[in-house]
Structure 1
Amino acid sequence: MNQEKKNTLLNKHIILGVCGGISAYKIPELIRLLRNKGAIVRIVMTKSAKKFITKLTLQTISGNTILNTLFDISTKNTINHIELAKWADIIILAPATANTIAKLRAGIANNLLTTICLASKATIAIVPTMNNQMYYAKATQDNLKKLKQREFIILGPDIGKQACGDIGMGCMISPLKIINFLNNHFYIKKDFKNIKIMITSGPTYENLDPIRFIGNYSSGKMGFAIADSASKRGAKVTLITGPVNLKTPKNVTRINVVNCLDMYKKVHKTISEQNIFISSAAISDYRPEKISKHKIKKEKNKKTIFLIKNPDIISSVSNLKQNRPYVVGFAAETQNIKKNAYQKLQEKKLDLICANKISIYNKIFNNNFNSLFLLDSNGCTKLPRSNKIELSQKLLDEIIYRYEKNRFKNSW
């Protein structure tokens, strides 16, 4: 494992955004470490950064031309910020000043660095450095909080002696800490290699007439995050999803469905081939007894619609007599979270259930963040609130541990 981690930065495209702070003197060492790891580094400097360190120094160490102009008429393509935004595997702002942090929070793109950040889909890591009073200022703390919610990564700061003579929070973390972060960021475990996983995701829509349906607010983000993470960790993933507007993760087989009966059929078509089944879809429990061929007209103040129960997909899988996979369910509860989830775990004969609280005031559906309680026969584990990408990785850590333990137990 350690040997794999040593090569995680090889040929990675890294944009290093240098802002105007005294900690810019640490940047040559950071560039040297990145290049020693095999990374390809492009430096973008703000106007203020040039007051603290020269372009020549950074250009010599990085081996690349330093970029600091939004529109460079010396090149054929003057829209270089779009090219750079697409080129980057990750963008690191170090040192990141309070001014640049405020611009990012507000979406201001008035220089090359902030424009690249606004135009890029790459992960953006901010390494703050400033006086401790500036760091603790309500505006700065609010800006950092908002950027975290947008899935920016905040690295540091550290406590130490500052250029003004104060001692406190606001010092830039060391280049080695940044390298360790990058190693972990790009390192992907392959602990799901040769494991087949089927995941259901998103809502289901039960038609009332040609234009209306019964549905829910599920965005499918959690299921897609799990599918993406599992695929990167080596799993062969089949993702069966209701109607969502999400991009299919790389190397994932996607099957689109509309209603519960569609999903039931697609699940059971290949469920006997799967090792793990994760049911994160928000499936409609009921469907209309009859679907009107024509639009239902507004006639009376009240309208009676008869509903019939849909098949319970996860129960049908957990009760398979042959080739039963390891079964993971989800429970979205408004009250008595753990009690209701544990009851569902037992009634449906699941191996593991992931429970979270939803309410009018604490929306989980269509949100980028979540927290989970994991319950099985051995007790309860809590996964604290984090973005769904990070949460999916932690969930898969728990699943693979239990799956391997269960498989070892059954082999005896």
Structure 2
Amino acid sequence: MSDSKLKKVLVGVGGGIAAYKVCEVVSTLFKAGMEVRVILTNSAQKFVAPLTFATLSRHRAYTDELFWRSSNPRPLHIELGEWADVFVIAPLTANTLAKLACGIADNLLTNTVLASKCPILLAPAMNTEMWEQHTVRDNWEKLLTDSRYHSMGTASGLLACDRIGAGRMAEPAEIVSHVYSLLHTAGERDLFGKQVLVSGGGTREYLDPVRYIGNPSTGKMGLALAQAALHRGAKVTLVHAPVTWELPLGIEAIPVVTSEEMQQAIMLYLQIADVIIMSAAVADVKPRQYSKHKLPKYRLPDSLALEPVTDIIAEIARRKQPRQKLVGFAAQTGDIVTPALEKLQRKSLDAIIANPIDQPDSGFGCDTNKAVFLDRSGQKIEIPPCSKLKMAHHIFDFL
């Protein structure tokens, strides 16, 4: 993120095999221009050496030995606690979880938690049986009643103990994205209790089982919107066309292919949504006839008969309640504002995001974007080039 310079992220590493994944977290944050400091528990040092984290963060790593022998004028845990903008604990072990839930401070990591005020992101990792123990679940639920703590949850899959089940630590990219969000919001959950419905990706309208009418949308903007809403406390449903990226933890994902399938899925969740953001690139037309078998080349028509598909966002606008906000996207070339304003009025949207697809580092497939936010009250706010996650947060800020 271009505005991440001078942001300070403190990473606490617990004693679990997933500690090796935290190397990627630290490296990514440093490359993004952030200052990173790392605390290792004694158990963590048995999995990854302090020198590894010192090299990746370009700063010495902190251990209990340094804590107890520190000759600093001020206590080390106080300095680190006051220094951090965001505190990440990964992997969060059952042992450290129990200490945090009970307010125990018997090492540098737990002392620093109690000496800090910044948001704390928790990425637990442990064996399935351990994760599902009543005492562990009680500690987890107790800890999350404190608004300082933000949860990554755990994934399911093959664990280091060869068990297949819950308990895997979130992937480094997910942890990094959540850190970006916390740096933007300072941990505020302004969407808590809200239901956010997002569409993303490009629909496909098939001529036969192989050929289709489509577009280059990758769904990255929809993913960013879903992540931003989740990180701000919302319950999120993402209806997405075919994508290549893995879906993050905590988001209810509904995969679809065609515009008709997307319409059906969205209408199923429409009534419970407080905010609906239509970032999907939905087809405007589809082949009039569909062949169940692949057409040989010689049977392809010289001209393809087309028919319009249902205008999903217009249908939503007709059905939406006064309490709901409906936001659309307008991907344009050339003048992006005039057609977006026309679409805003014609489809009775509350707001629209106009973004160029004919400029470098913007539009389909890019990790970055730029846009103009327009709403019915007359606001016109330019969003400068930034990551799509940052843009998603700007959109929720404006809403």
C-alpha distance in 1 between matches for 2:321 and 2:397:
26
C-alpha distance in 2 between matches for 1:120 and 1:251:
15
Matching residue of 1:232: 231
3-state DSSP class of the match of 2:319?
A: coil
For residues 1-400 of structure 1, the aligned pairs below 5 Å read: 44-45=50-51, 60-62=65-67, 87=91, 121=173, 184=183, 187-299=186-298, 303-320=302-319, 322=321, 325-359=324-358, 364-377=363-376, 378-399=378-399
Q: Give TM-score scaled by structure 2 length.
A: 0.58
* 8 A contact 1:17–1:44 mirrored in 2: no
Q: Which structure 1 residue ranges, 4+ long, deviate > 6 Å from structure 2?
A: 12-18, 40-43, 52-55
Deviations 1:312-351 (A, max 9, x none): 1111111226466210000100121011111110111100
Give the letter aligned to residue 342 of structure 2.
Answer: Q
Highest Rg: 1 or 2?
Answer: 1
Deviations 1:92-127 (A, max 9, x none): xxxxxxxxxxxxxxxxxxxxxxxxxxx964878xxx
- Judged with a 3 Å threshold, the aligned counterparts in structure 2 of structure 1 residues 298 and 63 are, in CA distance, closer, same or farther, namely farther
User: Which consecutive unaligned segments of at least 5 residues does structure 2 have?
Assistant: 1-8, 15-21, 28-34, 70-89, 93-120, 123-170
Deviations 1:192-213 (A, max 9, x none): 0111111011110101001111
- Judged with a 3 Å threshold, the aligned counterparts in structure 2 of structure 1 residues 353 and 368 are, in CA distance, closer, same or farther, namely same
- Could you tell me the percent identity over the aligned residues? 29
Using the TM superposition, give the Cα deviation of residue 360 of structure 1 relative to its aligned residue in structure 2, in angstroms: 7.5
- Comparing 243-252 with 210-219, greater Cα deviation is found at 243-252
Root-mean-square deviation (Å):
4.2
* 8 A contact 1:192–1:233 mirrored in 2: yes
3-state DSSP class of the match of 1:282?
A: coil
* 8 A contact 1:17–1:45 mirrored in 2: no
- Judged with a 3 Å threshold, the aligned counterparts in structure 2 of structure 1 residues 54 and 306 are, in CA distance, closer, same or farther, namely closer
Deviations 1:169-207 (A, max 9, x none): xxxxxxxxxxxx998379422100111111011110101
3-state DSSP class of the match of 1:251?
A: coil
3-state DSSP class of the match of 1:299?
A: helix
Give the letter aligned to residue 61 of structure 1.
Answer: L
C-alpha distance in 1 between matches for 2:60 and 2:283:
62
C-alpha distance in 1 between matches for 2:252 and 2:346:
30
* 8 A contact 1:206–1:213 mirrored in 2: yes
Using the TM superposition, give the Cα deviation of residue 301 of structure 1 relative to its aligned residue in structure 2, in angstroms: 9.1
3-state DSSP class of the match of 1:255?
A: strand
C-alpha distance in 2 between matches for 1:189 and 1:54:
31
* 8 A contact 1:317–1:324 mirrored in 2: no
* 8 A contact 2:199–2:240 mirrored in 1: yes
Using the TM superposition, give the Cα deviation of residue 236 of structure 1 relative to its aligned residue in structure 2, in angstroms: 1.1
Q: Give TM-score scaled by structure 1 length.
A: 0.56
* 8 A contact 2:353–2:374 mirrored in 1: yes
C-alpha distance in 2 between matches for 1:257 and 1:54:
48
* 8 A contact 1:318–1:324 mirrored in 2: no
Using the TM superposition, give the Cα deviation of residue 246 of structure 1 relative to its aligned residue in structure 2, in angstroms: 2.1
User: Which consecutive unaligned segments of at least 5 residues does structure 1 have?
Assistant: 1-7, 19-26, 65-85, 91-118, 125-150, 154-180, 400-412
C-alpha distance in 1 between matches for 2:301 and 2:59:
73
- Comparing 251-260 with 390-399, greater Cα deviation is found at 390-399
- Judged with a 3 Å threshold, the aligned counterparts in structure 2 of structure 1 residues 380 and 185 are, in CA distance, closer, same or farther, namely closer
Using the TM superposition, give the Cα deviation of residue 361 of structure 1 relative to its aligned residue in structure 2, in angstroms: 5.6
3-state DSSP class of the match of 2:298?
A: coil
C-alpha distance in 1 between matches for 2:60 and 2:238:
51
- Judged with a 3 Å threshold, the aligned counterparts in structure 2 of structure 1 residues 311 and 324 are, in CA distance, closer, same or farther, namely farther
C-alpha distance in 1 between matches for 2:318 and 2:214:
27
* 8 A contact 1:196–1:274 mirrored in 2: yes
- Judged with a 3 Å threshold, the aligned counterparts in structure 2 of structure 1 residues 17 and 313 are, in CA distance, closer, same or farther, namely closer
* 8 A contact 1:202–1:243 mirrored in 2: yes
C-alpha distance in 2 between matches for 1:329 and 1:54:
47
3-state DSSP class of the match of 1:397?
A: helix
C-alpha distance in 1 between matches for 2:247 and 2:311:
26
3-state DSSP class of the match of 1:383?
A: strand
- Judged with a 3 Å threshold, the aligned counterparts in structure 2 of structure 1 residues 215 and 17 are, in CA distance, closer, same or farther, namely closer
C-alpha distance in 2 between matches for 1:321 and 1:364:
28
C-alpha distance in 2 between matches for 1:236 and 1:255:
14
- Judged with a 3 Å threshold, the aligned counterparts in structure 2 of structure 1 residues 216 and 63 are, in CA distance, closer, same or farther, namely farther
The count of corresponding residues between Structure 1 and Structure 2 is 271
Using the TM superposition, give the Cα deviation of residue 225 of structure 1 relative to its aligned residue in structure 2, in angstroms: 1.1
* 8 A contact 2:361–2:367 mirrored in 1: no
- Judged with a 3 Å threshold, the aligned counterparts in structure 2 of structure 1 residues 221 and 313 are, in CA distance, closer, same or farther, namely same
Matching residue of 2:95: none
* 8 A contact 1:197–1:237 mirrored in 2: yes
Using the TM superposition, give the Cα deviation of residue 237 of structure 1 relative to its aligned residue in structure 2, in angstroms: 0.9
Deviations 1:63-91 (A, max 9, x none): 79xxxxxxxxxxxxxxxxxxxxx85989x
Using the TM superposition, give the Cα deviation of residue 273 of structure 1 relative to its aligned residue in structure 2, in angstroms: 1.5
